[in-house]
Structure formats: C-alpha cells, structure tokens
Amino acid sequence: METVEVTGVSMKRSLSTDENDDLTQADEAKRRKVSECNLAKDQETLDNDCALSNEIVTRQSETPTAGEGRNNVEVQIEEEEEEEDGFLEEEEEEEDGEVESFADMMKHGLSEVDVGITKFVSSHQGFSGILKERYSDFVVHEIGKDGRISHLDNLSVPVDDEDPSEDVFTVLTEEDKLRLEELQLFKNKETSVTIEVVEDTKEKRTIIHQAVKSLFPGLETKTEDREGKKYIVAYHAAGKKALANPRKHSWPRSRGSYCHFVLYKENKDTMDAINVLSKFLRVKPNIFSYMGTKDKRAITVQEIAVLKITAQRLAHLNKCLMNFKLGNFSYQKNPLKLGELQGNHFTVVLRNITGTDHQVQQAMNSLKEIGFINYYGMQRFGTTAVPTYQVGRAILQNCWDEVVDLILKPRPGAEKGYLVKCREEWAKTKDPDAALKKLPVKRCVEGQLLRGLSKYGLKNIVSAFGIIPRNNRLMYIHSYQSYVWNNMVSKRIEEYGLKPVPGDLVLKGATATHIEEADVNSYSIHDVVMPLPGFDVIYPKHKISEAYKEMLTADCLNIDNMRHKIRDYSLSGAYRKIIIRPQNVSWEVVSYDDPRIPLFNTDLDNLEGKPPPVFATEGKYRALKMDFSLPPSTYATMAIREVLKMDTSIKNQTQLNTTWLR
C-alpha cells in the first residue's frame, strides 16, 4: 500500500455537463415539498398550524440550538435565552453592484490543503464526479445502539384509548388558536382566554378542554356559566415553567413518558428540524432528544424522542410540514442520548463520473479493503474565508479582542446580504447596537455576540462571548483540535506510511498505550490512534510527538498545559483512529440520460409506492451509486474523497457544478 501526496495545486478536474440549471432548480424545489398534501391546493383546509409552515421552515441557521444549559466556569459566563423574534420577512435582493456568481464567491473559501488534508492511502488513478449535485444524492440512515438501520416505513399511529378524538385539531378557530398562543407565550397582559361554547353539549365542551390542554402545554381550563351560556376559560397553571414541563397529570401512567419516532427530513439539519417541530407543537426544544446530529444538505433518517407528546399530535404534523415526515411511533420509558448510535449508513450518488469501470472497481475495492484516512471533513472548519479553527486558537490563546474581530470582521465570499451589512457597520463604528440593527434576526452567532457586547461592553468580552450557546462556543476550540489532528496524521502517514511502528499509540479499552518493538506485528494500521491535543492524553514516542509540540508552540500554546482559566475552554483531549475501514460496502455504476431524475428510491418514495428508477443501457451520463456504513464522528465526504482522489471542499465542488448549493 502506498500513499499519495496532494500538492498545493487545486485537484479539480474539468467536468462538462449539459444540465439545464433552471430545470434542476425547479425540480429540486418540487422535491422540497415532502408532504401528503399539496399546500397550494389545500391551504384553505389546513389549520392555523399549517398556515405557519412556510414562515417557520425558512428559519434555518437563525434558530437557537436545542437544550442549551448553563455551565460552571471560573470566569462568570452568562448564557441568555433569546427573546422570541417575529418571523423573518423575505430577504431583499441586492440592488446595487454586480452580483458575483456563487462559484466566484467560493474562491475565497477553504480548500482541503488549508486544513491539513493532504494524503491518500490507495494507489488507484482518481477520476471526476460531482458530489451532492442534488441534496437527494446523499442519504443518511442512522444506525441505532441495537445495530438496526433506521427506516421510515410506517406512518400509522399506535391505537391508544387515552388519546383524544381527531376533533381536537379542528374544534378551535384560528382566532382562538392565536389568542391561546399569545396567552401561552405571555405575549399579552391577559391572564385568561374565554371561548364561547357554540352548540353546547358536554361532548363539545370535553373536546375543547382536550384541545386547549393538548395543543397549548402549560394552560389549564375550566367551564363557567355566564348569563345562561357556557364558556371555556383557559389560564396559566404554573407560570412560565409550565411551557417547558408538560403537565404530569395529563399523561397516562401506563404509557411510556417518551414518544419515539423516526424523522425523515430533506435539506435541513437536525437542530433546525427540532426547532421547527417545537414551534409547531408550542413546546421548548429541550424536551426533544436524539442520538446524533445530521447535516443539512442531504436526506436523513434518524430516531427522535420527545417528552409527553402523543404520536397522534406528531402524526398531525405530516399534514402541515414540508421537508419532513414522521412515523414509526412508539412509547418508551427513556429518552435518547447523544452518542448512543452505532454509526450511520450512507447511500451516495456521484454523478457524471469520468472513471472507467476498471478504475471504479479499483477505487471501491481499495475503500472496502483498506479504507480511508479518518480526517475531519471540511464541515468542521466553516465555509467562509475565516476558518473556525482560527477563532478556536484565539480563544485558547486568551486573545479575546482577536476572537471578536475574527467573528465580526468583513470577509470575502458567499454570505447573506444582511450579514455583509452588519460586518461593514461593525468595522466602521465598532458599535454593537448599530451593527445589530443591520441584522433582521439576532440568533446567529454574530447577533448573539453583538448582544453580549451591547450588554457587557468591549472591556468584558469573556462575558459577552458567553451569551453564545455553549455548544457553539466549544465548536471553535474543537475545530482547532481537529485542525491540529489533520496536520499531524498527514505527517504521521508521510513519515511512516501505512504500517504500525514502535511508538505509535493503540487503545486497550479506553486507555492509550505505546506499541513496543516486540509487539509491532500484533497490530495493523487500523488499530493505530492519534491524540487530539489536551491535558489528559499522551503522545506518540516518535518524531510526530515533536511535531505536535512544534505546531502548538508556533501557535503560542503550551502542549504541557492545555488547561484554560475558563473551565469550559480547557481541553482534555481524545484519541481518534487514523484509518477507517467502512462496513457494508456495495456499489454499482448506472447510466442515465436525464440529469434531473433521482437514481434511487428514498424511504418516502417507497412509502408512496413509487417504482424504482429505470436506467438507460447506453446513457448520456454515468453515475457511481455507493452504499457504506461508518462509525460515529467519521466523515463520509472523506471516504468519497479517497474514491475520487479529489478535493471535496465547496470551493472546488462549486467550480465543477455551480448549482451545488442553491
């Protein structure tokens, strides 16, 4: 096995396609509407929840992450919950100046060489192909802790005598729902909402009581008789905490407290999906749990659990939401926990490949038998001209002015217009309030930091930065660890190749130990691990140990003291295998004429009874369809990179296909 080095020269290979961009975009727009109902046709019949869907699903990266909590740190850090903002109005198009193409803007982005991704393990000749030409070309199925691959194959709701009738979803008028929502969220000064019972019967009153309590957690109801008419009065039972904690007495004791379901979603990441679901259900995002987060630009299928929300209510969302489908409902005693999954199964289509059948066979056999370098993928480092690892490095150096500058300064490349204006205002005035006014939504990292600076001032940046949710803050320093690891594993493979050597590290249980000379033949390259820098790891006993020290010293960091005066930013470190061999690897090369057609059926296609695609015998284009399973925290794009032998960064892919991102 030999290694191949990537030089600083771009590895893109020219690729021609006759695809009509307008047709492709129109087709993608159609695929977004993952719903049983045609929203345009049925709009009048959908309830108020459904009417909100178009506004809510556009709130993507601006929505807060789910379930952020406070943490004890030596320097006080305050995390504030964002106030509710109104729904975003549509972004105005840029009116002045020439608009750069997306590919031109992405010339300023990162390439793989920039983040230490420089080596390959296989010797086959690479070839071109387009990754994620359509988001539906990249499908991820979660592998649960029991080893089963999650599939959406059942939309039925478990029969439960405790569930209210379907009438609870239609008995309230849209005006009633609006008033109740404002009461629930403390958006007005009213202490109660009164609903007149028209066509009064005991059954009708019961359904209204059930509707209010099930659709608006935190509200209680009572019946009052006024001037001979019956009214249902809704009021708060337990203050603001009631919204986050569903009523205990309303849930049957015999039923598990958590409703588990399979979530199928298109072109939306897990956090965005949770926020959309919580908005529709009128609950806090932190009552949801999951085993892992999934990226946006893909079709993903994963298990979710939610506390004391019925399958009936969840299934009702299928009539309202685009991009989502919920099914495979069951009630369980326990929530899901991050990290419980065994991995993910990927189905990937690489379109318009140039490799011969022999080249493809060599590449896929190598992936199956040897594997790929377990690099952290490009997603780890951001998409703008300012990499996230630079922010992480500044945090570890305690250079807080630089942290602010890196996050807020203007930069070339692809960004939303309002962010560009916000950055320009900050550069000109250094006034956080003035810069905030340029942001229509404040939940992005830039908005959260500016709010912190407005509250605490430029002389207390640590507290200002602490307003950003903890997971987002830690993302920066984890990005720096990943940057170091990528560079070090490239040096390790350059120096010693694809065989274990004395001084390498292997894991025995959870403990890392050095390989001794006498034991070298007992291990393979698939056993070798490398450390992410931290205070609780050991380093190899060969040249790479010195390389770690040199790299951190050049960044003004002490490898022997990775503790930070703010506990959150102290790095304990971890170990990561340097070579991963995928499981369940299979592939086929297919020919096709229409670049717009999907090349395999999704779970939703199968539920709807769609026939599998029919391939051309001698098509205009060729595609490689590949299936494989990976353990958690590994990047499918790095496996694909090994097959193609080309740069998988957005910077490179947009030069192959300018419709890569819409």
Give the residues across from 231 on adjacent strands: 196, 224
Active site residue 295: yes
Tokens 């962010």 -> residue: 419
| Strands of the sheet with 229-236, listed across from one edge | 192-196, 229-236, 219-226
Q: Dig out the tokens for 405 from the structure.
A: 């500058």
Residues 4-38: b if buried by 16+ CB within 10 A, e if exposed: eebeeebbbbeeebebeeeebeebbeebbebbebe
Which residue matches tokens 């109801």?
221
CB 349 within 8 A of CB 587: no
CA dist 113 and 125 (Å) reads 20
Q: Rounded to an integer, what distance in angstroms lies between the CA atom of residue 522 and that of residue 534?
A: 28
Q: Within 10 A of 454 (CB to CB), how many other CB atoms are there?
A: 17
Name the helix (H) or strand (E) containing 608. none
Radius of gyration of the chain (CA): 27
Quick one: which of 351, 379, 263, 256 has its CA closest to 309? 256
Q: Which amino acid is at 316?
A: H
Closest CA to 136 of 591, 590, 589, 605: 605
Q: What token pair was written down for 44?
A: 């009048």
* Contacts of residue 13, Cβ cutoff 8 Å, sequence gap at least 6: 126, 127, 128, 354, 646, 656
Distance CA 22, CA 24 (A): 5
Phi then psi dihedrals of residue 265, to 5 deg: -140, 150
Contact 653, 660 (CB under 8 A): yes
Which DSSP letter does residue 625 get? E
**Are 288 and 271 within 8 A, CB to CB?**
no
* Residues whose CB falls within 8 Å of the CB of residue 58, separated by 6 or more in sequence, listed in order: 87, 88
Which one from 163, 176, 272, 295 is the annotated catalytic residue? 295
Give burial (CB, 10 Å; 0-12/13-18/19+) of 256: middle
Could you give the 3-state DSSP secondary structure of residue 288? strand
- 440 CB neighbour count, 10 Å cutoff: 16
CA atoms within 13 A on the CB side of 44: 1
- At a CB cut-off of 8 Å and minimum separation 6, what does 30 contact? none
Residue with tokens 């993507």: 60
Which residues have a catalytic role annotated? 295
